[in-house]
Chain A
Amino acid sequence: MVRILFFGKLKEITGKREIKANNYRTLNELKKFLFQKYPDLKKETFFIAVNQKIIDKNVRLKDNDEIALLPPISGG
């Protein structure tokens, strides 16, 4: 099982701060599931972090991984 976290505007789109998911072996499979579950995510720009590290390619997911969907950063 992996945890998926949503931040900023993305949290409002999904209506959730966090969800859990099973049976997704890769990040691409998980993304496909998220786009099906929350179609409005497709319109948004975001980055994905796996275990607090930005990942820009498909990777294999492990049990207990923490996946975060991050909108463009605007701190400071």
Chain B
Amino acid sequence: MKYLTNKKITRKFIYEILNKKDDKSGSFIIFTGKVRKDKIDKNFVKEIIYESYEKMAEKEIDKIIKKAKKKFRVREIIVKHRIGKVKLGEIAFFVAVFSAHRKEGFSAIQFIIDEIKKKVPIWKKEILSNEKYRWKEEENV
């Protein structure tokens, strides 16, 4: 798996990307999506189990990255999405964009996040504080 991971997205991982040497990139933008303590009735979300159709998800992310590189002329794009159990506060979704200037970097990162949320087959099963769960649906319409 290139983009999906069942391992934690750590500070060390982010730091290593930050230290990548690329003299032609003047801009480095990162986005991290974390598991949020949403309140549902009297309970809250304590973790999310991400399920994916891995074979298709990898292909779709690859397509989105290629499209974004072409459309915005950014230099490098790094995407990671957790699958399996992700606890409250942990990073579930990570995108980094290197570009010559900030403007194309911001446009690209917004595009990548939106496209992934819309097109990549990943589903959230929210585990609540009372041990019940719900499948989150149609959030991204």
Residues of A within 8 A of B (CB): 5, 7-9, 45, 49, 52, 66, 68, 70-76
Contacts and interface: CB of A to CB of B under 8 A. Distances in A.
Interface string B62-92: 0000000000000000000100000000001
Contacts of B136: 74
B14 interface: no
Interface in B87-138: 92-93, 113, 116-125, 135-138
A72 B138 contact: yes
Interface stretch (B5-13, B18-26, B38-46, B51-59): B51-59
B39 to A, nearest CB: 18
Given A73-B120, A73-B122, A75-B93, A8 B140 contact: no
A9 B121 CA distance: 13
A71 B134 CA distance: 13
B139 interface: yes
Interface residues of B, number: 29
A75 B54 CA distance: 12
A70 B121 contact: yes
B28 interface: no
Contacts of B118: 73
A5 B116 CA distance: 21
B122 A49 contact: no
B56 A73 contact: no
Nearest to B54: A52
B53 A76 contact: no
B81 to A, nearest CB: 7
Contacts of B55: 52, 66
A52 B55 CA distance: 7
